[in-house]
Chains A and B, each alone.
Chain A
Amino acid sequence: MTETHKIIDIVRILFAVLGAFVVLFLFLNHAEQIDTPLFDYFTSDFIAETGAQNSVAAIYLNYRVFDTLFEALMLMVSVMEVINVSWANKHAEQYRYEEDELNRKNNSEIVIRMVGIIYPFVILIGLYVIINGHVSPGGGFQGGAILATALITRYLVYPNFDLDLHVLEKIEKLLFLSIVTTPVLYVFMQLQPANTDLSNQIYMILMNSLIGLKVFSGLSIIFYRFVFYEGR
């Protein structure tokens, strides 16, 4: 029994050393010069082609919008899976938070005050990141995550279950539908009113806000489901 353990240990160490050598070789080996056709294609003329000043936004909302659709689908499937798993727990409903009274004795006064001051600014920066996603770093996913963080800090201060998760779920599915529809109509079928910078920018802002709202609702569903339906 101990011998097999030794052999497995030796194999593990060998694998680790081999992997380290491969990584170091690839990292330090500058002999090979590779052309950058994709880099040139994506960065040469993206402002005129897509209307975005941020090349990352140009890639994920125009050149490679197909990937974005599947990312959105992945988030929605994981949200559905979280809901499904917490439904499998038969006693989940009884753990719901039912006290109406604010339970403040466990929470620190400093945290409550500071979160109260910071809260509107966090929401503002989330909206800013979403709407300026095609100009500055950021975008729908990042802004949605910041908005979800704001909602979660609200849980720290005010642990109350007054959100209607079913409505939020329905909103998320509708948003996914519109996230699929918008690029299919605008980019794939080229049903654009006019191929100008303005229409491209409107498309970018619309897509970023749709993605941001969807990520926001998805992450908050996961968090609230987890907090109020799982465990105690």
Chain B
Amino acid sequence: MFRAALRSLGQHKVRLLLTLLAVVVGVAFVAGTFIFTDSLKQSFDALFNAPQPDVTVSADSAFATGGQGGGPGSGAEQVPTVPASLLPSVASVNGVAAAYGVVTSTGALVLGKNGKPVGTAGPPARGISWLPDSSINSISLVAGRAPTGPHEVALLEATSTLADAGVGDSVAIETPAGHLTATVVGLVSRGIGGSDGGTLTVFDVPTAQKQMLGNTDTFTSIAVKADPGVDQDVLARRIAATLPAHTKVQTGAQRSADIANRLQTAFGFINTFLLAFALIALFVAIFLIFNTFSMLVAQRTRELALLRAVGASRGQVRQSVLAEAAILGVIAAAVGVLGGIVVSQGLRLLLGVFGANLPAAPLVIQPRTIIVSLILGVGITLISAYIPARRAARVPPIAAMRDDVSLPSKNLRIRGIIGIVLVLIAVLTAVSATRHLDDNLRATQLVGLSAICALTGVIALAPILGRWFIGLFGAPLRRHAIGNLAVENGRRNPRRTAATATALAIGLALMTAIGVLAASTKASVASVVDDTIGADYIILGANFQPFRPDVYQAVKNTPGTSTVTFTRQLPLSVGDSQGVLTGIESGKFQKVFSLTMDSGSADNLLPGDAIVDSDTANKLGLTLGQNVPVDYVNGPGFLILRGTYKPAGPITGWIADIQTLTDAGGRDLDSAVYIRSASGADPAAVRASLDQELAAFPAVKLQDQASLKDQINQQFDRVFGFIYALLALAVIVAFLGIINTLALSVFERRREVGLLRAVGTSRAQIRRMVVIESILIALFGALVGIALGLIYGILFRKVLESVGITQLAIPTGQLTWFIILAVVGGVVAALWPAFTASRLDVLKAIATD
């Protein structure tokens, strides 16, 4: 029987190729995801092997050490520091060979020849101090020498390329302290042969202190090299004993573990995220494989019956079909693993396109990747082939002797009932979800459950829906014979049409739901900007980095403006919950930003007074007038709660007067400047004056309301674009399914096609017939998918209303494109099958054997 299976595979090579392709695409996606994340992990592991201090002393702060976390600046970036006076006492501890002050911070923008900051928006622009001891410095010089003095810097190689400034060239840099022109004296590498896309500027220690921290009394940390033979842990304990409270002492090993932990979580998330899309593609592939095997079995009914007639048992027939599937699965999975290498590189490129630059990484293929891929590939193929195999086993031996046999096929009624029940459950859970909108988590779960029920229900109902749909949409086509034939072909095998269309529907349902959420999110952002921001212009730092107060000074008296005010931000934590404290000029701020108060008042905020958004207040259980203990970067403090406001808009969290921030040790750096034009002022003139004033500040960007919305939208577009790109894979698999179904259908109906040709149907008409059928299947799949996607996009939006997606927007343009693409995809998918059909040999097709 095994030999029979092999033979049969060999005979249907071309037809199996497409099936193979579907499994390959799915498996390649899974393998690619693993290879991608494993490789990325490896490249970060290399980081841990780079030299590093034996012990590091830093501020004991709830906040991640600036410059190490690597996230884009939130605008509230402030690095915890330790007093420089600690350095001598650390250096004098027994067992310390040397101790160095270290500065690591973000906000050193390297300017290109055009005066604009280089590098992409997103990854941080770091400014650090040079650590003179190469045995504990993870950064190494690759050209030139280390910087000394206030006018020398070393740049990361990639940064130097971006800025077009090599050793000996001069370069302009914007730092928190001001504008700096320096000579590049060296180039450095970070030891892992790449960069995260951020820039890196290296100063000597005093310059780094001045430029990055604005003083010479602090460091961000102290790096310690141990005497030979001194244990890291022992030394760390000795150092800790000499230090005041609010300092943290970490060994090199602890730091590594810390970072590794953080990366582990991040990679776990990326991995799960990507795998989810890979599994969607594989799920879609199930329909394709199922269809292929059903059709292959149907075509071989007589052959299988002959096997039964000569004595093969049902089990043997079933096993022979399953053996075929298994062989196919193994081949597909093997090719898929190879394809995974390509996919992993593709994912890297894709992430690059959507703004994330990743370090170059070696290719890591773990045994786990291969095992999981094989199990998935073979498993999916076997599962998909099981029902066709069972059906094959039921072929009665007598079928071998009959001329036209059809496989026993079950009535659609049971499927219909199951489908209706599932859809009813979906409706009920959806209704129940809308009744629990206050309980966000529960509502989301209910909508999710409803979506799954609706999807499976529609899959079950698809054969019935398909007949109905194709009949309805095909009605106008029936007036002509070819159209009528195409419509009937689409309806004749409802299960097959359904499985083919459903594959497409799944992909498009997800894309539509995402589309609705994306459009709604953007619309909500726009409405929030309209509702809350009364300012006509906002000045923001490049990458949302804080900027020097000179900017405010420069624009505050611009003619044609009525109110100019600035905000500052400072991270803070209340208990375990981290947040941001925004400092405002009380009184002026309300003229450029409208806060809707839920309780209390935002007027007359005195130093120490604060208001907070209602969500945070509820979460922390705060009451008006309460004295709330908080932690700032440099130590604890108190805020008196004076009011709560409706969370909306770009500002959330705590709001207090500027003085409160200054008292809490905030830097003199602004997070934004809001500008309101005087009534009657000429907008063009105001804009021109502002542009002129800001020409000297390349690190900031002047935005009006429209460009602010654009900028926020761009960030959403990136995220949603990435998701679309991943979902596109499932849609491609679905179109492979349409090609496969049509090709097999044409083969199955070759007699009929021959007959049509014999009685005078032209080749062009045959081609048209196949293309119309394809379009009808694709349209059915697309419309079912879009309908499901719309319903659940709208429901999820409703559930997410309380987290800020207040507006509902239907991306009609996009949905129209989906439909157009489905039709075009249908035509393209039909090309090859249609060509084959039109070239069928009439005589062979009608010959009676």
Q: Do A and B come from one complex?
A: no
B interface, CB within 8 angstroms of A: none
